């Protein structure tokens, strides 16, 4: 078929595949393959799984290209991206997840940190190179509808899942209503996520995280807007490989759970991670949560230039000994480390509990943490009885700020099992008088009270 002849018919087809060869020294001319007559229908009712998969397979076989969806509503079950293929959703295009459990596949089953089996996905790629999603359209997983169609609710698809991929780009699209996590990467390299909008908070479903990087190496997340029902940015290590070399900039985050979280699953650990210039609002749990509980090493993490308003605990840090594995064949590790972390230039208002909560465990200390230019607007109002509370160690518990209870014995900072901690211009301001001490330090070495800015007085009534 003549290439120019194909291009002349672009305006008459319902769906087109635009093939752009991937990165030779001189790129060949673009090739368009029409989808007319191939069963792809944008009516929101016809199941297009096989037809879309055929287009992806053909594009990859031609050396790579872009599958373009014009305006319409395209119903599908699991589709698998192959080498060199990008899906482009034009304005008005909606890729809809099927509401039938039988239409989904699980290419890599695993168990999440809370014991829930996961792995199904609407869009999946395994071992693929140079792949992605782009455009002004929407991917709607129809998670609420899928849940309503299942008793019990066992097939809970991620919206997108990238397994062991190289050079993945997701940009500009609107993502909504997943059955579980929205955008998940596992053991992948060369990831870019930019200008993506995620809306999952209104679904009422569990485990609908925003962006999850799991045992990945090399990622850039920037200019994203996330409002999620579970953790907004969640970095994991469910395998022995670490998540590392990750940069996050200029993101807007809101969530029922944690905004910036490392370590729900932390077997492989975390290193060389930078998060900067983010705005957090209406956070149900912690603004910044750094957790290492499964034997990995969390180190060389820097968080800076963060503003947050409406948050239970602005900064929550935990080194623990849950020591769990998440896939068959992996072996448990001994207790890991949490060290070499810098958190600076953080402004938190609307705090509901405590400003800074840091816990190691007996014999295993959190080490070499720097807190600089931190302003914490605390609620105050604590009582003398609350000041007597003794927190259990809970060495093997699931990591979360609430593991120690919703009422804490300190009003501003609780620090336990820690060494070599630097505080520069850390200021707490209570909204009302508080009978609890501002700071409690237990089993702590290398912290001087002079490192703190004087506590501001509660306003007079």
Q: Average pLDDT, stretch 77-96?
A: 95
pLDDT at 115: 80
- Three-state SS for the chain is CCHHHHHCCHHHCCCEEEECCCCCCCCCCCEEEECCCCCCCCEEEEECHHHHHHHHHHHHHCCCEEEEECCEEEEECCEECCCCEEEEECCCEEEEECCCHHHCEEEEEEECCCCCEEEEEEEEEECCEEEEEECCCEEECCHHHHHHCCCCCCCCCEEEEEECCEEEEEECCEEECCCCCCEEEECCEEEEEECCEEECHHHCCCCCCCEEEECCEEEEEECCEEEECCCCEEEEECCCCCEEEEEEECCEEEECCCCEEEEEEECCCEEEEEEEEEEEEEEEEEEEEEEECCCCEEEEEEEEEEEEEEEEEEEEEEECCCCCCCCCCCCCCCCCEEEEEEEEEEEEEEECCCCEEEECECCECEEEEEEEEEEEEECCCCCCCHHHCCCCCCCCCCCCHHHHCCCCCCCCEEEEEEEEEEEEEEEEEECCCCCCCCEEEEEEECCCHHHCCCCCCCCCC
pLDDT exceeds 90 at position 74: yes
pLDDT at 14: 38
pLDDT at 112: 80
Over residues 241-260, the pLDDT tens digits come to: 999 999 999 999 999 999 99
* pLDDT band, very low/low/confident/very high, at 454 (cuts 50, 70, 90): low
Q: Average pLDDT, stretch 31-58?
A: 78
pLDDT at 21: 29
Over residues 296-321, the pLDDT tens digits come to: 999 999 999 999 999 999 999 999 99
Over residues 279-301, the pLDDT tens digits come to: 999 999 999 999 999 999 999 99
* pLDDT band, very low/low/confident/very high, at 51 (cuts 50, 70, 90): very high
pLDDT at 134: 94
* pLDDT band, very low/low/confident/very high, at 456 (cuts 50, 70, 90): low
In whole angstroms, what is the distance from residue 147 CA to residue 447 CA?
A: 51
Kindly state the tokens that stand for 84: 């060199």
* pLDDT band, very low/low/confident/very high, at 116 (cuts 50, 70, 90): confident
Kindly state the tokens that stand for 241: 């490989």
| Locus of tokens 């993945």 | 168
pLDDT exceeds 80 at position 98: yes
CA dihedral 222, 243, 299, 317 (to 10 degrees): 80
Is the backbone peptide bond immediately before 224 cis, with ω within 30 degrees of 0?
Answer: no
Q: Which residues pair with 427 in a beta bridge?
A: 375
pLDDT exceeds 60 at position 455: no
Over residues 373-417, the pLDDT tens digits come to: 999 999 999 999 999 999 999 999 999 999 999 999 999 999 999
- Which range is least confidently modeled, 57-61, 161-165, 274-278, 455-459? 455-459
Q: Which residues pair with 186 in a beta bridge?
A: 163, 214
pLDDT at 79: 98
pLDDT exceeds 60 at position 20: no
pLDDT at 269: 98
* pLDDT band, very low/low/confident/very high, at 38 (cuts 50, 70, 90): low
Domain ranges of the chain: 294-461
């Amino acid at each position: 078929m003549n290439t120019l002849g194909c291009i002349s018919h672009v305006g008459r087809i319902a769906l087109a595949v635009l093939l752009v060869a991937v990165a030779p020294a001189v790129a060949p001319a673009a090739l368009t393959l029409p989808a007319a007559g191939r069963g792809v229908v944008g009516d929101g009712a016809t199941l297009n799984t096989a037809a879309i998969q055929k287009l992806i397979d053909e594009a990859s076989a031609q050396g790579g290209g872009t599958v373009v969806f014009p305006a319409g509503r395209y119903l599908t079950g699991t589709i698998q991206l192959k080498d060199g293929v990008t899906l482009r959703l034009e304005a008005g295009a909606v890729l809809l997840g099927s509401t039938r459990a039988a239409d989904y596949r699980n290419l890599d089953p695993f168990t999440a940190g809370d014991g829930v089996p996961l792995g199904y996905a609407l869009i999946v790629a395994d071992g693929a190179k140079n792949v992605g999603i782009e455009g002004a359209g929407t991917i709607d997983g129809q998670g609420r509808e899928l849940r309503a169609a299942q008793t019990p609710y066992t097939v809970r698809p991620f919206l997108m899942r990238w397994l062991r991929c190289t050079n993945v780009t997701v940009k500009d699209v609107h993502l909504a209503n997943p059955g579980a996590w929205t955008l998940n990467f596992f053991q992948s390299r060369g990831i870019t996520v930019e200008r993506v909008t995620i809306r999952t908070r209104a679904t009422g479903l569990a485990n609908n995280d925003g962006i999850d990087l799991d045992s990945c190496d090399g990622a850039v997340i920037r200019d994203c807007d996330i409002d999620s029902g579970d953790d907004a940015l969640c970095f994991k290590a469910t395998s022995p490989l670490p998540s590392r070399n990750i940069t996050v900039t200029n993101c807007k985050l809101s969530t029922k759970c944690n905004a910036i979280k490392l370590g729900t699953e932390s077997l492989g650990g975390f290193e060389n991670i930078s998060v900067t210039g983010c705005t957090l609002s209406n956070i149900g749990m912690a603004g910044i949560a750094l957790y290492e509980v499964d034997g990995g090493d969390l180190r060389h993490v820097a968080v800076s230039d963060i503003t947050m308003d409406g948050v239970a605990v602005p900064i929550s840090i935990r080194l623990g000994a849950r020591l769990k594995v998440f896939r068959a064949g992996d072996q448990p590790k001994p207790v890991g480390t949490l060290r070499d972390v810098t958190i600076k230039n953080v402004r938190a208002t609307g705090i509901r509990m405590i400003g800074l909560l840091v816990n190691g465990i007996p014999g295993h200390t959190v080490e070499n943490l720097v807190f600089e230019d931190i302003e914490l607007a605390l609620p105050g109002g604590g009582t003398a009885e609350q000041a007597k509370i003794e927190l259990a160690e809970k060495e093997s518990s699931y990591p979360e700020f609430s593991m120690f209870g919703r009422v804490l014995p300190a009003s501003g900072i609780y620090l336990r099992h820690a060494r070599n901690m630097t505080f520069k211009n850390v200021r707490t301001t209570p909204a009302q008088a508080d009978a609890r001490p501002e700071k409690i330090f237990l089993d702590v070495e290398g912290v001087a009270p002079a490192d703190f800015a004087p506590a501001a007085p509660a306003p007079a009534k």
